[in-house]
Amino acid sequence: MATNTSQEFDSVIAVCRSLFLKKTQDYGTAWRILRLSSITDQIFIKAQRIRTLEEKKISKVGEGIVPEYIGIINYCIIAMMQADMDENDPLELELNRVQQLFDQKVQETKDLMFAKNHDYGEAWRDMRISSLTDLILMKIFRVKQIEDNLGATVVSEGVNANYQDMLNYAVFALIKLELK
């Protein structure tokens, strides 16, 4: 069966974007108050819940893993947007500005995904979803370490690249779960 990664990626992102913009209409940009470390912790909570659901196979709250992967994608985008802002930027952003920033971060991340897919030959298609979850958790721990080191790294990529990788892993998981 032929695959169209670009179309599948866009389809998953369309679901995430729609939810994100609806929540922005409901709540505004309340996420602007969060520090990057708090956003990282939110991503951790979602990834840890996915891992727990993968292992226990039962949810006591009634929601499955799909909404958690969507949350990871949207929180990664929030983190990347937040990282580009400072205290001079307003807490409340207009919806059209949020849409522009969202789309910009998604495009940057999609471009990275295609560069890596070229080099890795779309190896993610043969991976288990649980491995994608584990990779997200590993990236979270990397980001936490970088945050604890006040952003300093010796040879490693910074937090933004890790957020992009987590976003892409979550998209891959949702493609494999057939959210398209």
Mean pLDDT of 55-77: 90
In angstroms, the CA 47 to CA 144 distance is: 14
Q: Show the tokens assigned to 164.
A: 């992009």
Distance of CA 145 to the CA centre of its chain: 18
The residue behind tokens 């992967």 is 69
Residue 171: CB partners within 8 Å, gap ≥ 6? 9, 12, 13, 73, 113
CA 177 to CA 180: how far, in whole Å?
9
Residue 2 has pLDDT above 60, yes or no: no
Whether the per-residue pLDDT at 97 is higher than 80: the answer is yes
Distance between CA atoms of residues 39 and 45, nearest Å: 10
pLDDT value of residue 39: 98
Residue 46 has a pLDDT of 97
* Whole-number percent of the chain with pLDDT over 90: 81
Domain residues for the domain of 145 are: 5-176
Report pLDDT digits (tens) over 143-171. Answer: 999 999 988 888 888 899 999 999 999 99
% the chain with pLDDT above 70: 98
pTM value surpassing 0.75: yes
Look at residue 61 in the predicted model and tell me its pLDDT. 73
Q: Which residue has the higher pLDDT, 61 or 135?
A: 135
| Residue-wise pLDDT tens digits, 38-61 | 999 999 999 999 999 999 877 777
Integer angstrom CA distances of residue 118 from 6, 89, 111, 123: 13, 37, 11, 10
How many folded domains does the chain comprise?
A: 1
The pLDDT assigned to 180 comes to 53
